[in-house]
Chain A
Amino acid sequence: MSTTAVPAVAVTAVDEGFWTRARKAGAVLLALGVLAAVLFGSLATDQQARFTLSETEGGAALAIHGTVGAILFGVIAAAAGGALLAGVPKRWFTLLLGAGLVAFVLSFLCWQVSAAPDGRNFMPLVNIVRGTFVLALPLIFGALAGVLCERSGVVNVAIEGQLLMGAFSGALFGSISGSVWVGLVAAALGGAFISLLLAVFAIRYLVDQVVMGIVLNLLAVGVTGFLYERLMQTDAAKYNSAPRFSRWEIPLLSDIPLIGPALFRGNIFLYLGLLLVLVIHLALFRTRWGLRTRSVGEHPTAADTVGVKVLRLRYRNVIMAGLVAGVGGASYTLALYSFTKNMIGGKGFIALAALIFGRWSPTGALLAALFFGFADQLATYLGAIGSGIPSQFLAMLPYLATILAVAGLVGKVRAPAADGKPYVKG
């Protein structure tokens, strides 16, 4: 059996001369910064742009003159870009790039907030941060499901279906039993059901994993949609009125300004999601299970020759992924809304994007999910202040960012080497 990793053909070698990755990123950032300073600066008004540390206009706030802010942050972004372009030690790359991008966003916000109609030119940061996390939550669960699967070498395109099935069975069994906890367990099992199908077909029957994922998504849409119309629509009181988890306020922590009200007055899913990121991160990089998982995802034959049970490990991980995604689905139906047809609406694919953008690591996925959640929240906010920026373009942001990432423009993303390749002995 030859599993030597043959690099994909037809990939034209990237000729790295002067234009290293850092320099290219620097050039782009420089252009963005200049654009921000000039365009946002000229469009901003001399209103104050206020960023309040509360949910309303009142209270403590960071305020800056609109035009000044837009130009200042634009210049900062340009300076970071310039520094990268000039060539700086490698360890500065992430820091400078991050700072530059944040400055660009701030410049943009200074313009938008200052140009908002009178009385609305403030940004309640608590709402923004909380909204970011709420919107990022299903992405976090979904991306973690992706991490578990793909790190062991099974491509998980069925995240959407797992979330949807989790949301559905959470709502259904939560309603029937009247218990959130039963609902939560049912949701996890619902997600696991879809991932079990993925595991059996991908591992046992060697069906192409991407194909299987796509088909399973459609299956989940069909089954949940069918049962929704047959059961939930006819008798919503019985089948679609699941109890909801209440908010848990964490003492002390919830009193921290800004972070407290935004993060520590959430529901179980928020805490569970963040905890899972931590746990999976530690487990993946510090434990025996993690070492074996990664080895199976990178070079299953090597793992096999030292006695790791490749297929068993893959089964286990794929099913765990389903459990996690199922809980993610429940974060809708057991906390926020009642079930509706196709209610995940593509979040599973943004979770996939977050997984890739976060380079297949739990913490990376968390950051990517938060970034995507922020873009989503920003769209809502801009709509509320009557900005002219179409929300649709902000909604495209996660997808465009992922395309750029995969094309190698925002750094190199490398999937686990054996991701998507079925393992057959001999």
Chain B
Amino acid sequence: MTNPNPASGSPDKEPATEALQAREEARATPTAPAGDTAPKQRPAEAPRPSLGKLFLDNLWAANTVTVTVLAVVLAMLVGAVLIIVSDPDVLATYGYITARPADAFNASWTVVSEAYANLFKGAVFDPDAVGFTAAMGPISETLTYTAPLVFTGLSVALAFRGGLFNIGAQGQATIGVILAAVAGFALPLPPGVHLLVALLAGALGGALWGFIPGILKARTGAHEVINTIMLNYVAIYFLSWIIVQGGVQNPDRADAISKPVESSAQLPRLLGDNLRVHAGILLAVLVTWFIAWLLNRSTLGFELRAVGANPDAARTAGISVTKTYVLVMMIAGLLAGLGGSNMVLGSTADALTPLVIAQIGFDGILVALLGRVKPWGVLLAALLFGALQAGGNRMQSYSGISLELVTVLQALIVIFIAAPALVKAIFQLRAARTARLQTSLAKGW
């Protein structure tokens, strides 16, 4: 029961640069104990192996890409098992597996391969599709699901980097979607301006909801994990209350649904009216770029990372930790609020319902972890999750496999990602010197 990688004792290592750091460590280790008085001499390096071999070695040494791919494969294997055991017909063939094993394998293969084929066709490309719309349909769907996840994923990732665990993206997105929708149907504004105002309203709503746990953390030390969880539910109840208020509720409907957002406040569609992909995805890429800049190339990002990695040292160096916490949570909330706005200003829905934002906040946590809490990583992870959702829809309608399988796959992928040691053990990877996805928050309440 020992840490598989005790050499890199600090769990706070920035997960992204693992490979690089590991190399650094490997280099530093032989010299460090020798003392510093001796001039630093690197031991003569072994003859360089060929580039190709180096590449393969590194690939197999459990770097992030390998681990991710293997995690996806593992998750799909577990998913396949679930598909088989939940299919009574296929299960029946296992009753006589000793007599006719081929039956069982064929039936299993058919149901699983068909399900995953539909998953792929729904997410990426359907070879049988005819015409532009049909061909682009899967991609359009994938991008539509991706956009809000980028925002919530960035929200969680940014907070992680600042040393905070934002479980409240769901609540922040909820408040964001409320304000965006209300601005979208209540304000009489010209197109363009209206959209901008609605987005801004959503962002502000999220920022407000992020500010609360931020200021509570800064002022009283109250743990943000608890407060953001609690605020999620407060936001959900607030949503279900406000929908049925006069002036918000759709007067033509008896159920809990708000008035629809004006078309002047909707994000324009990118590929014509028949495809759902909208400008939200462009905004998402833009925001990803901005967050990447903010983290790595701005003074604020420097403060944020310093506070996240070592708040004591940051404070000693004159950085206001409390101010940074509040700011981090506000920006995180703002991002989640934008994600929420996407759900009602894009093509997913045009009115508030109790389930309008689905799970984007919670999914954002998974996306952030899968993206190794780096902005561009988050974008890619969101793309994968968006694809799974889009494909899941097709899998549900064509193969009759419940969409919930996608939730299972997503959770499993992240579980495997979170414990590379397990993936390595399963695949007998080289005792790699690298890659523990250790988010910088081994801390309790």
Q: Which A positions have Cβ atoms within 8 angstroms of B?
A: 8-12, 14, 153, 155, 157, 197, 201, 203-212, 214-216, 218-219, 221-223, 225-231, 234-235, 311, 341, 346, 349-350, 352-353, 356, 390, 392-393, 395-396, 399-400, 402-403, 406-408, 415-416, 418-422, 424-426
Contact = CB atoms under 8 A, between A and B. Distances in A.
Nearest to B445: A415
Nearest to B359: A218
22 contacts: A12-B322, A201-B418, A201-B422, A206-B442, A218-B407, A226-B82, A226-B86, A230-B86, A231-B88, A346-B233, A346-B236, A356-B226, A392-B241, A393-B241, A399-B231, A400-B230, A400-B234, A406-B216, A415-B223, A415-B445, A421-B444, A424-B3
Contacts of B369: 211, 215
Nearest to A209: B444
Given A9-B321, A153-B444, 19 more contacts: A14-B220, A155-B444, A210-B225, A211-B418, A215-B415, A216-B415, A218-B359, A218-B366, A222-B409, A225-B407, A228-B404, A234-B88, A349-B232, A349-B233, A356-B445, A392-B240, A408-B222, A416-B444, A419-B445
Contacts of B408: 219, 222-223, 226
A192 B223 CA distance: 27
B382 interface: no
B438 interface: yes
A400 B421 CA distance: 39
A226 B405 contact: yes
Given A12-B322, A222-B404, A226-B405, A215 B411 contact: yes
Q: Indicate the member of B82, B369, B402, B436 with the most A CB atoms within 10 Å.
A: B402
A24 to B, nearest CB: 12
Interface in B315-332: 315, 321-322, 325
B381 to A, nearest CB: 14
B1 interface: yes
A203 B219 CA distance: 32
Interface in B397-420: 401-402, 404-412, 414-415, 418-419
B255 interface: no
Nearest to A14: B220
A9 B443 CA distance: 13
Contacts, number: 196
Given A218-B411, A346-B233, A400-B234, A407 B220 contact: yes
A105 to B, nearest CB: 20
Given A218-B407, A392-B241, A407 B222 contact: yes
A14 B165 CA distance: 24
B220 A11 contact: yes
B293 interface: no
Given A221-B407, A231-B86, A396-B238, A403 B221 contact: no
Given A346-B233, A349-B233, A399-B231, A8 B404 contact: no
Nearest to A394: B237
B389 to A, nearest CB: 12
Give the most central of A11, A234, A346: most B CB within 10 Å: A11
Nearest to B82: A226
Nearest to A341: B404
B273 interface: no
B292 interface: no
Contacts of A206: 3, 11, 436, 438, 442
A409 B3 CA distance: 40
